[in-house]
Chain A
Amino acid sequence: MMKDKMTIALAGNPNVGKTTIFNNLTGTRQHVGNWPGVTVEKKVGTKTYKNRELEIVDLPGTYSLTAYSIDEVVARDYIVEEKPDVVIHIVDATNLERNLYLTTQLMEHGAKVVIALNMMDMARERGDQIDIDKLSSLLEIPIVETVGCDGIGMDELLDEALEEVNKGPHHHHVVGYGKDVERYIGELAIIIQKDEVLAKKYPSRWVAIKLLENDEEVLKKLKGSPAEKEIRKKLKAIDTDEMEAHMADKRYEAIGSILPQTCSICVPKMNVSDMIDKVVTNKYLGIPIFLAMMWGAFEITFTFAVPFMEIIDMIFGGLAGVISGMGNGWLPSLLGDGIIGGVGSVLIFLPNILILFWILALLEDSGYLARAAFIMDKLMYNLGLHGKSFIPMLMGFGCTVPAIMATRSIEDNKDRMITIMVAPFMSCGARLPVYVILAGIFFGGAAGSVIFSLYALGILVAILSAVLLRKTLFKGKPAPFIMELPPYRVPTLKTSLIHMWERGQMYLKKAGTIIFLGVIIIWVLAYFPSGVEYGSEDSYIGMMGKVIAPIFAPLGFDWRIAVALIFGFVAKEIVIGAMGVLYGAGDNEELLSDAISDSSSSGIYPAHALSLMVFTLLYMPCIAVVGVIKKETGSWKWTLFAVLYSTGLAYIAAFIVFRIASAMGYGG
């Protein structure tokens, strides 16, 4: 007996013409809102057809029923929890292989499905020959040919849907996963059936498959179930690490066995995403393309920012002028030399930081960064790093604190620990001011390339450290890498600027808090004892410098640089601010440049500059990073190791660079 009212869900991959079919079916009787708790658009329409009241729900586009993205969660929850009377699965006839992957999952769940084979006109136009009857018979699912944009096949689609609802108990067509996995599925399904509520609500085979795939949403559904303990015990005994990939392979194998029987001539179609992926993930060109893009990003970060830095410099110069009009004494000195000089020297680099963050936001929003992780995975795996380590390491270009926090996504503890230890070598935004000023002074037109080389050196040191750690302290192989690549999206100015600002404001916040405090401490040490020349050898800071200077002498650093590097532990941005104080330049970037570039008085030659940049790149992370390493590792031992290892490495690397550059005649 047919129902008077029935619910139809429209499911399918993105861009298969789902919304066009939804509009054809419902016309103007639509209601647009949001799915509960999320910002995903919910479209519901109604239609009266053959005396039946139909409620038609347009689900978000999804490639599978494995819930990763919010769209997939919404689509799957609706099908699994709300149980529509029938699911119309809209399939792009020009891209059967990818589209049928979702079909296999719908079949597995046991939902009543009708396939709308859409875009058939395009498939025919390019010469595809699809045997629809045979496809329908092999899948055991009714299929209706449609051309959404012309409204063809809509009534037939609804007729099939009504008929499908009226059919008796549905045959669960399954994909075979091989002897071992099928045994696990069977054993789990038996346990699941012990929980009557769970077994009544969801097909036990489907739940077993999702559990083997480590589906977190399904794992959550077990909470409080009488079968939970036994299921978890069973899962613990099974190696589920590669299960999801194995099952995906089997589903594609099943599709691969059906397609040649039903589509005698099928021309594979490439969409924009496929085209971009074919190039950027190419095994020969993928990495060179990534390197070229990164070089472009640093080139524009360094060069485009110059006039904007100059404008900020002028503003702080004006402020310093006003302060100097207040006369001598400790207060004008604190305001001028300390606060404006210190904080100003950090804020000057805000344009560089914002541009770099904006470019990273554009790359991330477009979906390219996930591809970068993918192309680097093989290389990273061979070097003993997990593929997932690449994302935290890339984030390290912005700030090391969120980068280390992002390692939480790495499940294996050894992989995670290695990533935490090496992430600080990725050159964060705070180190950029040091490079900008020194590379600008000593390497002129090649400054962009020098800065790029420093970033490359950071990556190299991180990789080599990972190899070393993997072979010594964290022996074993990295866990396998499974990651779903998000679809490419067109980045928008508004979104990328918001993302840029979210990260950029951390830099500003830091300038107003920790750096502000740091520069006041530096000012106190540089101003006192009373009566000495500000920042001179006779000041406390000078005395301190003299004590530690011998340690840094082999690297070519005098007491002023030694002191600046010590204060860099508070925040790396302070290095330049402290140098401004110690070279008597305050916040004036030009004065500092002049003071440093006069090698005879500053004692800084290109070899010293290179050594200083390398040391700044590699030495101990700032105090905020040390805090987060302690929090994430939960161990003072590993935190201390991170500090000592990086500083020791920085010392050795700077020493080598200084000696080589000096031998080449760049040491003055």
Chain B
Amino acid sequence: MAVSNENKGKMFFGLTAGIIYILFAVMQILNGLGLGLDFMDTLMIPADVFGGFVLLVIGSIFIYGFKEMNSGIHEGVAFVYFGILMSLVFVIIYLAIMGANALSWYGLGLEDMEGWTPLHDMKPGLYLGLLSLLGLLAWKDKFAMKGLSKAGI
């Protein structure tokens, strides 16, 4: 089945984002297992297996979407949208943690946080979110959650 031009863009996005996320996931997991390399510090990759697992899941969602669309299954686009959404949820989580750490150091002056700067909390889960942000802006009408009602009490 032929792939429409609109879906070609999403396919390319899914493939690119998927590869990047999985690459960083592997590095973060390796670092977490004590198998890190020097250049990983430059990329601000923490030693965090679980955080790496999250990147791996997001990357797999993107790749799965690409695979589906490449097989002519239009619904594969759902995986690309969800990958974008999930990576941005984690950006919000990491930003909230960064905010709390800022409050702990700049606001309360906690000893444990001495010398903390926002760079301490910078990690792939945060800066790779920029890629997803581009996707969100490109297809923002798809994220309007049309048709969903608000949760009631």
Contacts and interface: CB of A to CB of B under 8 A. Distances in A.
Given A296-B54, A495-B151, A272 B146 contact: yes
A52 interface: no
Contacts of B79: 278-279
Task: Pick from A15, A307, A311, A490 the residue with the most CB of B within 10 Å.
Answer: A307
Interface size class of A (residues with CB under 8 A): 35 or more
B127 interface: no
A558 interface: no
Interface in B28-81: 48-50, 53-54, 56-58, 60-61, 64, 75, 77-79, 81
Interface string A290-316: 011001100110011111001100000
Contact of A278 (B78, B93, B151): B78
Contacts of B86: 289, 292
B149 A491 contact: no
Contacts of B96: 300, 304
A277 to B, nearest CB: 9
A279 B78 CA distance: 7
B100 A449 contact: no
B108 A311 contact: yes
Interface in B109-153: 110, 145-153
A357 to B, nearest CB: 15
B90 to A, nearest CB: 6
A282 B64 contact: yes
Contact of B151 (A285, A291, A492): A492
B147 A285 contact: no
Contacts of B100: 303-307
B50 A449 contact: yes
B23 interface: no
Nearest to A277: B78
A15 B147 contact: yes
A349 to B, nearest CB: 15
Interface string B77-109: 111011000100110010011011101100110
Interface in A13-51: 14-15
A275 B82 contact: yes
A197 interface: no
A487 interface: yes
B26 to A, nearest CB: 15
A299 B149 contact: no
A289 B101 CA distance: 27
A366 B82 contact: no
A488 B85 CA distance: 15
Contacts of B49: 449
- DSSP majority for the A interface? helix
Given A279-B78, A303-B100, A272 B50 contact: no
B75 A278 contact: yes
Interface in A247-281: 270-276, 278-280
A288 interface: yes
A615 interface: no
B47 to A, nearest CB: 8
A478 B103 CA distance: 50
Contact of A490 (B78, B90, B110, B151): B151
A366 B53 contact: no
A285 B64 contact: yes
Nearest to A351: B100
A496 B99 CA distance: 22
A449 B48 contact: yes
B149 A489 contact: yes
Nearest to B64: A285
A77 to B, nearest CB: 20
Nearest to A449: B50
A495 B153 contact: yes
A488 B57 contact: no
A291 B104 CA distance: 28
B82 to A, nearest CB: 4
A296 B150 contact: no
A270 B82 CA distance: 14
A270 B93 contact: no
A452 interface: yes
B108 A276 contact: no
Task: Pick from A282, A306, A492 the residue with the most CB of B within 10 Å.
Answer: A306
9 contacts: A292-B86, A295-B53, A296-B54, A296-B89, A296-B90, A299-B97, A310-B104, A452-B50, A495-B153
Q: 8 tightest CB-CB pairs across the interface, nearest first?
A: A365-B151, A275-B78, A279-B82, A489-B151, A307-B103, A292-B57, A304-B100, A307-B104
Interface of B: 48-50, 53-54, 56-58, 60-61, 64, 75, 77-79, 81-82, 86, 89-90, 93, 96-97, 99-101, 103-104, 107-108, 110, 145-153
Interface of A: 14-15, 270-276, 278-280, 282, 284-285, 288-289, 291-292, 295-296, 299-300, 303-307, 310-311, 365-366, 446, 448-449, 452, 487-492, 495-496, 498-499
Given A272-B146, A490-B150, 11 more contacts: A273-B148, A285-B57, A292-B53, A295-B54, A296-B93, A304-B99, A306-B100, A311-B108, A365-B151, A490-B145, A495-B152
